[in-house]
Structure formats: C-alpha cells, structure tokens
Amino acid sequence: MSEILLAGASGLIGSNLIKKFKQKNYQIVLLSTQKNKCNGTDTLFWDPEKGIFPDIDLNRFSACYNFCGAGIFDENFTDKRKQILTESRIKPIEFLKENFSKQNVVIPSFISASASGYYPNICLNELNEDSTSGTGFISDLVDSWEKAAQQFTTQATNLAIVRIGIVLSNKGGFLNKLIAPMKFFAGAIPGSGKQKCSWIHIDDLCDLFIFLFENKISGTFNGVAPNPESIETISHQTAKCIHRPILLPNIPVFMLRLIFGKERHELLLCDQNISSKKVQDLGFKFSYTSSEIAIKDLLQHG
C-alpha cells in the first residue's frame, strides 16, 4: 500500500486531496508547522525556518506533495509581505530536498503546486506550458517557486509541477469571496468583466494531482479546466445559484487600485486563456468542463 507524504496540506486543496487519498485507502503522513495539531503518527511537526524535521524513514513514501506557501491575495504587497510570500515557498522545498538527500532517498514522485501567475497577467493568445513567463512580482515569484521545485530532479524519479488556476470550491477561496458581498446585494464585477478566468473545480484539480502520481508522470502542467470563462459570466452564474441579482455597476480599475494597491489589484484583472490540452492528451478526463455545471455542483449539491 502506498504511503504519501504531504507538506503544507492544511489549506483548501490539501484538505480535499487528503479526503480523496483516504477514499483510495492510501496511507497519509502530514508535515505540519502547527505543533498543537501534530500527533506523532500521521501528523508530524516540522519547521523549515528552524531546521526541525521529524525522525522518519523517507524510504517509506511513494510520493511527496508540496503545497507550502502563504496566501498570495491575503495581504497588501509590502516588502515584508513579498519576502514572506517568497520564503514560504522556497525554504520548505529546499528543506525537503535537504532531508531526502541526507537519507540518500530518491522519492518515486515529487509533485509540487505552482500557479497560473507564472504567465503574463494579460495575454490575448492561448497560453500553454511552453509560453513565456510574465513580468512583475507574481510572475517572478512563481518562476522562483518552480525553479526551487526543479531542484528535486536529483531526488525524485518523477517530478511534476502543477500551475493552478482559479480554484472553485464551496469550502472557501474564490467563490466565497465572490459570494460574500452578493448575499447582501452588493455584488459587483471587477473591471470590464470581459477578462478570461481560467478556473478548475477542486475535485478535478485533486484528481489531476492523483493522476500524475498514479501514472508516474513528469513535467509542468496547467491545472485548469478546458473552457475558460469571463469573470462576468462566472459572477452571473454564481449569483444565479444563490438567487441574488448583481445590481451594482462594475468596479472601475482606479477603484480596485485604491482598495488593493498597485500590484495586488492586477490579480483581479488577469485575462488569461490557459490551455489544459497537455494533461488531456495524457489521458486525464475532466468531470467539470463547464463553469456553470461546476458552480451548480458546488453551490447547489455540494
């Protein structure tokens, strides 16, 4: 029976992935920086900042997943916050590699999260895994994040990186932020609303992470559904599901900049048509190819 090591799995994606692994009867071991949540058996304390790693035999594991990283949209992009965003992604990967190297272990699969922020914020052409990176802090951050993960080439038989798009979930994240003002009839669409949103249902994303492990696949892949939609369309689909109209006018760009700051507001205006063809050509099947069906599943049946 396969044993899986997960780092940084307390968030939206990791918690759903754990549930799916358990349904498949995989054994899971979590690495957590929250000592009060550690039990010494399947949740172990580690601290990459202080160089603390649990006393475990890394030969046990068939795969190691990395989801470490502070939330990108949570706070303003001050110099201190940028440092936290960078170090919270780079240091855990380097520390994992250091400990696999110390034990002279080559893990069968190392699979790391990345983000669609690798690409230019605004691009009229379809983006695939071979497209060039964007410019600015977020693209530079994601590029550094991926380069850190690629250091695992010497410590992993298979190395996969997933550039995650906008994750749709009923447990938090994008949809919750969209719904919160809508409940009070204060929903509004950022910018023109025409910007393309490359989204993915959380179940499809977690199935993709499992697919890459079970099929021993290496490479960089886009974690997005096949059919991007405009933020306007997704907003109206969400409002319809919760029986709320969108009454307010679109939020102008200058207002977004005032509220969220020069760099952070650009995340709300991303216009990215990202392709999922590479994973589909490998045989991965999406359960949710329509944003309307995905949102209905999450908000009406989830």
User: How many structural domains does the chain have?
Assistant: 1
* 279-287, long-range: CB < 8 A, 24+ apart: 279/208, 279/211, 279/221, 279/222, 280/226, 282/215, 282/217, 283/215, 284/207, 284/208, 284/211, 286/201, 286/204, 286/225, 286/226, 287/201, 287/203, 287/204, 287/207
Interatomic CA distance for residues 208 and 203, integer angstroms: 9
CATH number, domain containing residue 257? 3.40.50.720
69: region left, alpha or beta (phi > 0 left; psi from -120 to 50 alpha): left
pLDDT lower than 50: segments of the chain: none
pLDDT at residue 1, rounded to an integer: 60
pLDDT at residue 34, rounded to an integer: 93
Interatomic CA distance for residues 267 and 121, integer angstroms: 7
Number of C-beta neighbours around residue 42 at 10 A: 12
* Amino acid at position 292, single letter: E
Query: Domain range spanning residue 49?
Result: 3-300
Interatomic CA distance for residues 244 and 299, integer angstroms: 13
Q: Please state at what angle helix 231-241 crosses helix 174-182, rounded to 10 degrees.
A: 60
pLDDT tens readout for residues 118-160: 999 998 899 999 999 999 999 999 999 999 999 999 999 999 9
- Has this prediction a pTM greater than 0.85? yes
pLDDT at residue 254, rounded to an integer: 86
pLDDT at residue 167, rounded to an integer: 97
- Percentage of the chain lying above the pLDDT 70 cut: 99
pLDDT at residue 180, rounded to an integer: 92
